[in-house]
Amino acid sequence: MTHLTLQAVTRRFGAAHAVDNVDLSVPDGKLVCFLGPSGCGKTTLLRMIAGLETPTSGSIHFAGRDITRLPANQRDFGMVFQSLALFPHMTVAQNVAYPLKLRKTAKGEQTRRVAELLELIQLPHMANRPVTQLSGGQRQRVAIARAIASQPKLLLLDEPLSALDAKLREAMQVEIRLLQQRLGITTIMVTHDQREAMTMADEIVVMEKGRIAQVGKPLDIYRDPVSEFVADFIGLGNILPVTYDGAGSVSLPGGRRITVVQPARVPDLASDIRLLIRPEDVCVKPATDVAAPNRLAGTVTFIRDVGASLEATIDCAGFTLTAATTPRETPGLALGMPVLAELPPHACKLIAARAAH
């Protein structure tokens, strides 16, 4: 069942389109990430779903009801802002109880629900502490508890982890995901961090300039992006301009031909296209290995060693490749070393080039 649908939703500010003709269905009980660079329209889209902005045109339906112009306080959605917006003069328990108080929930029920939520976010011992005395991660959890206190039908998160340091941010990603799965609440989260989206989402909506560039499961978008923009935004990738010969081969910069597996998705292979191969798919072989199709001679020009893994830059005369490997797979890899970079045909994807601006 699809609970939330957007039909041709557009939001203009003067002549500028912040959101441009967006159609989207959000599956029930899933966590969906709106992902994209700053200014791509993801927060404006979330604010229209929340009722904090009104679409210029188009409609938003929730559970079969048109809510396009329904005030935010009548939508029964929970929201966590980037700033968290907790009340500094209140205790943890008072903050969590606030939406219940607004709904005039009975005192006994408020107490029971607050205790239940503080147990859920593992802060029962902090009930009477002022929120100003909490750490960033604890404040984050309180904001989420407050957002779900009135058992909303939809939870909206606007870059909720952006103020946290890297380690805490990763821990909170797991916590929010586990909480969402436990509650089974449909959740939409805005982020510009592709790792965060890959870690947390059931489905990612990649946005570019107010439009949806691609929707899909995280691994599908990583493995099979529809365009250069999506490929470049989701993870590291070697993206090279190529010419397709129509028979399963492409010419790389410098003229070297390699075999690819042609994706059905590229609409017009005669048009401007790119070859995408992810660093972990580039196999680094000793230069003494046998020359073979899809093996390119090159020289190691840079190595980033992070202990368990290595990232090597290989100059292939006319272009460079980044290869992700391990010390076990490529023992003795060193700067200046001649190598063969193997590009397996199944890992070579052809994608539409980024549109010229």
Assess if residue 130 is contained within a domain: yes
Establish if 293 belongs to a structural domain: yes
In a domain, 267, yes or no: yes
In a domain, 103, yes or no: yes
**Inside any domain, residue 337:** yes
pLDDT score recorded for residue 277:
95
- Residue 3, pLDDT score: 86
242/212 same-domain check: no
Helix or strand holding residue 251 (H, E): strand 249-251
Handedness of CA 304, 310, 314, 319 (dihedral sign): negative
Q: How many CA atoms lie within 13 A of 205 on its CB side?
A: 27
Q: Does residue 231 sit within a domain?
A: no
Q: Last residue of a domain, which of 199, 223, 247?
A: 223
**Last residue of one domain, picked from the residues 223, 256, 290:** 223
Same domain, 27 and 142: yes
What CATH number is associated with residue 183? 3.40.50.300
Count of the separate structural domains present in the chain: 2
Share of the chain above pLDDT 90, in %: 52
Q: What is the mean pLDDT of residues 67-85?
A: 88
In the Cβ-directed half-sphere of 81, how many Cα atoms lie within 13 Å? 9
Question: Is residue 147 situated within a structural domain?
Answer: yes
Across the beta sheet with 57-62, what order do the strands follow? 16-27, 2-13, 57-62, 65-66
The two tokens of residue 26 are 């959000």
Same domain, residue pair 211 and 285? no
Residue 239 pLDDT grade (very low, low, confident, very high; cuts 50, 70, 90):
very high
Contact indicator for 296, 316 with CB cutoff of 8 Å: yes
Within this chain, do residues 170 and 201 fall inside the same structural domain, yes or no? Answer: yes
Confidence grade of residue 97 (pLDDT, cut at 50, 70, 90): very high
Determine the pLDDT at residue 268.
61
Tell me what pLDDT residue 343 has. 96
Instruction: Using the 3D structure, point to which of 175, 201, 223 is the last residue of a domain.
Output: 223
- Which DSSP state fits 298? E
Angle (CA) 298-304-308 rounded to 5° is: 110
- Are 204 and 65 part of one and the same domain? yes
CA distance 111 to 180: 23
Q: Which domain holds residue 295?
A: 236-352
CA distance 2 to 9: 17
pLDDT band at 266 (very low <50, low <70, confident <90, very high): low
Residue 298 has pLDDT above 90, yes or no: yes
Residues 31 and 114 in one domain: yes
In contact, 146 and 99? CB cutoff 8 Å: yes
Statement to judge: residues 24 and 163 lie in one domain: yes
Per-residue confidence band for 267, with pLDDT thresholds at 50, 70 and 90? low
Chain segment 273-282, per-residue pLDDT in tens: 899 999 999 9
Instruction: Specify the pLDDT at position 99.
Output: 87
Say if 230 falls within a structural domain.
no
Task: Quote the CA–CA distance of 11 and 209 in Å, as a whole number.
Answer: 12
Same domain, 185 and 250: no
- Average per-residue pLDDT in the chain? 89
- What CATH number did the domain enclosing 282 receive? 2.40.50.100
Q: What is the pLDDT of residues 1-16, one digit of tens each?
A: 458 999 999 999 998 9
**What is the rounded CA–CA span in Å between residue 54 and residue 210?**
15
Is the pLDDT score of 244 beyond 70?
A: yes
Residue bearing tokens 């492409």: 250
pLDDT on residue 269: 57
- Is there a single domain that holds both residue 308 and residue 339? yes
Q: What is the pTM of this model?
A: 0.87
Which pLDDT value is given to residue 163? 74
pLDDT, tens digit (0-9, with 9 covering 90-100), for 128-159: 999 989 888 888 889 888 988 888 889 999 98
Considering the domain architecture, whether residues 146 and 242 belong to the same structural domain is answered as no
pLDDT of residue 262: 67
Residues 204 and 242 in one domain: no
| Across 298-316, average pLDDT | 93
Whether residues 30 and 100 fall in one domain: yes
The confidence band for 264, taking pLDDT boundaries of 50, 70 and 90, is low
